[in-house]
Structure 1
Amino acid sequence: MIKIAIFASGSGSNAERIVEFFSSNEEIEVTLVLTNNPAAGVIERAQRLNIPTLIFNKTLFSKTDKIVEILQSQQIDWVILAGFLWLVPNNLTRAFENRMINIHPALLPKYGGKGMWGHYVHEAVVANQEKESGITIHYVNEKYDEGKVIFQAKCEVTSGDSPEDVAKKIHELEYQYFPEIIYQEILSAKNSIVE
């Protein structure tokens, strides 16, 4: 069984869709949800879906090997960042090199980097009168939003769109593509090992 851990900081809507996507898969399952936010909505969602949850603080995450040790003890194969806001430390990116995937709510390299998440991204897109936005699914390295791009999908941004309108379009793309792209990457990695 291939085991996935999901890191999330917010409501967890993407995390829930990933769990549901793999719920009937006999080879891949989500076995752990981790969050840095004790008030995150993802905790309630994980409980409802019977997925164990771990809440951690900045010191534990950034200054120790504890998170890596927990993931390894749980035999986690892949790490998915689904609305996780902290920079991932080197010990974690190294432990899961080419096995850690993030989704970003813009067409990287535009609107990436520290502080560019959620509504901040959509507000910047609207303020700059962009004609399109979208999602970028990418591997995670030690820098914000700079890992190798796996997949992008676009949506139109019209002159009348508010940041909330853009957010809605982005969420639809996330829900449509993120679980499927994760699945394809896991299968691709598995097949390359077999070969």
Structure 2
Amino acid sequence: MNLAFLASHGGSAARHLTAACREGRLSATPVALVSNNSRSPALGWAREAGLRTAHLSSARHPDPDELDAAILAFLVDAGADTLVLSGYMREIGPQVLTHFAGRLLNIHPSLLPRHGGRGMYGDRVHESVLASGDTESGATVHLVTAGIDEGPMLAQARVPVLPGDTLDTLKARVQAVEGDLMLRAVQELAAQRAAAT
């Protein structure tokens, strides 16, 4: 399994999975990272980690189909066969979706299908959970499809919503389980692929 990542900011999932690969906890090779943000800390980290990197955004490719094609060409050239979204704040184009179908993962900071869909990202998700009065939240790893947060779920981790929780306290509790949850989902995907060959 050759892993590539799309990241807009810090790329925490990319960092966690790359560390797991290098520590022998995940039988995969991290090969590349693409960011739509030229100032993304993930780009600098990925370069230092030895991954191939590219800044590909609508600023450089204003036509969405051209941007989609450029991202796909870079990922294919890097040898990626599995793609992980690591805080990527753009919709995935149809060419990338088709090429990586069944091998494109995202983590969402709620228990999908609750608090998912268009406009539900980052702090907005945790604010929605707090406003709803839910007694638990968590994170969901799912396969990415054309619908926002609608792909098949691979794994979930649950955390309590405590009395007096704020956006920051709830977010920290959810983030604390995200790395290992994504690792577990990628490990299971790798095992399924190995069993199928």
Quick check: 2:6–2:34 contact (8 Å CA) kept in 1?
yes
Q: Which residue of 1 aligns with 2:14?
A: 15
- Correspondence list, 1:1-195, <5 A: 2-25=1-24, 27-58=27-58, 59=61, 62-64=64-66, 65-192=69-196, 194=197
1:18 to 1:27, Cα distance in 2 relative to 1, 3 A = closer
Unaligned segments of structure 1, at least 5 residues: none
1:60, 1:67 within 8 Å by CA — same for their partners in 2?
no
C-alpha distance in structure 2 between counterparts of 1:112 and 1:11, whole Å: 21
Alpha-carbon distance in 1 for matches of 2:149, 2:79: 26
Contact 1:34 1:53 in 2 (8 A): yes
Matching residue's letter, 2:19: E
CA distance in structure 1 between the aligned counterparts of 2:46 and 2:120, rounded to whole angstroms = 26
Distance 2:81 2:31 in 1: 10
Aligned residues: 192
Question: Residue 61 and residue 38 in structure 1: after superposition, are their counterparts in 2 closer, same or farther (change >3 A)?
Answer: farther
Kindly tell me: are residues 51 and 74 of structure 1, through their superposed partners in 2, closer, same or farther at Cα, counting changes over 3 Å? closer
Shift of 1:60: 6.3
RMSD: 1.7
TM-score computed with the length of structure 1 as normaliser: 0.92
**In the TM superposition, what is the alpha-carbon distance from 1:152 to its structure 2 partner?**
0.9
| 4+ runs deviating over 6 angstroms | none
Instruction: Give % identity.
Output: 26
Q: Between 113-122 and 134-143, report the one with greater CA deviation.
A: 113-122
**CA–CA distance in structure 1, aligned partners of residues 147 and 157 of structure 2:** 22
Mapped to 2, the partners of 1:32 and 1:5 lie a distance apart of: 5
- The TM-score, its normalising length taken from structure 2, stands at 0.91
